[in-house]
Structure 1
Amino acid sequence: MADPILQWRGVFENDELNALHAECFEHRLLNDDWWGQVNRHSLGWVCMRSAGGLVGFVNVAWDGGVHAFLLDTMISSAWRRRGLATLIVEEAVRHVRTTGCEWLHVDFDPHLRAFYLEACGFRPTDAGLIALR
């Protein structure tokens, strides 16, 4: 496998991101308009490609001010356990630092705590959540 290439605000097709999301989050294949969504609502995103194929992705949403939010960190199963998820998060952090944002937030399931806090350098904080569905 060739070394992957990282692209800030890289171009992708909805079909390939929908397939990656279904694989990584273990749900049926959807037909979401990711391209429209990230271009309307995101500060940026990182695409990771190898041999032209999308093998990783992370989205950085924001409030239009000083808060950015890491969402949908994904690495294809064939590429996991190589530190690549850490690389795409680091790439996102590097770009967000240049934007004037003061905070980068992330929420995650308990099994990802070590990844975000130890590997990626996030600090634990108090937060609140209301389940809407």
Structure 2
Amino acid sequence: MINYDYEWRGRFGNDEVNVLHAEGFDHRVLDDDWWGQVNRHSLGWVTARRDGDLVGFVNVAWDGAAHAFILDTLVAGAARRQGVGRALVATAVEGARAAGCEWLHVDFDDHLRPFYFDGCGFQPTPAGLIPL
């Protein structure tokens, strides 16, 4: 059994998340300032590490009050199908709950329905969206 270490508001390097994001969303590696972004705008985030290497990440944005939002759930290809994504989201749920949030939202592409509904316990709800 492979052991992973999960940490709420865990330290990470921008390069680590940029590589993970590029793999997860199938684009070239960017030079985004993830550390600055999450520290300015997020309630928290969760890191997953195996032997010191970043293999998972999820960002938890919020409205400053009752609502938190799951964004950018990322798991490295070699760590997929091992429960890392579910553990990332479960740790995010705990962090949002501990911060006093009442709701945790997520939106996703259709192929991720089983992961979020069956694997993570989210419930379907009506929502609206305006593409910008």
TM-score using structure 2 length? 0.97
**How many Å apart are 1:83 and its aligned residue?**
1.3
What residue ranges of structure 2 are gaps of 5+ in the alignment? none
Letter in 2 for 1:34: W
Letter in 2 for 1:98: A
Matched residues in 2 for 1:64 and 1:22: separation?
29
- Secondary structure at the counterpart of residue 101 of structure 1: coil
Identity across aligned pairs (percent)?
64
Q: Check whether the contact 1:2–1:51 (CA below 8 A) recurs between aligned residues.
A: no
Corresponding pairs, count: 132
**How many Å apart are 1:99 and its aligned residue?**
1.0
Matched residues in 1 for 2:46 and 2:31: separation?
20
What residue ranges of structure 1 are gaps of 5+ in the alignment? none
Letter in 2 for 1:91: T
Matched residues in 1 for 2:16 and 2:121: separation?
29
Q: What pairs with 1:1-133 in structure 2 (closer than 5 Å)? A: 2-132=2-132
- Secondary structure at the counterpart of residue 97 of structure 1: helix
TM-score using structure 1 length? 0.97
**How many Å apart are 1:52 and its aligned residue?**
1.0
Matched residues in 2 for 1:87 and 1:64: separation?
24
Extract structure 1 runs of 4+ deviating beyond 6 A: none
**How many Å apart are 1:100 and its aligned residue?**
1.0
Matched residues in 2 for 1:60 and 1:124: separation?
19
Letter in 2 for 1:112: L
Matched residues in 2 for 1:123 and 1:102: separation?
14
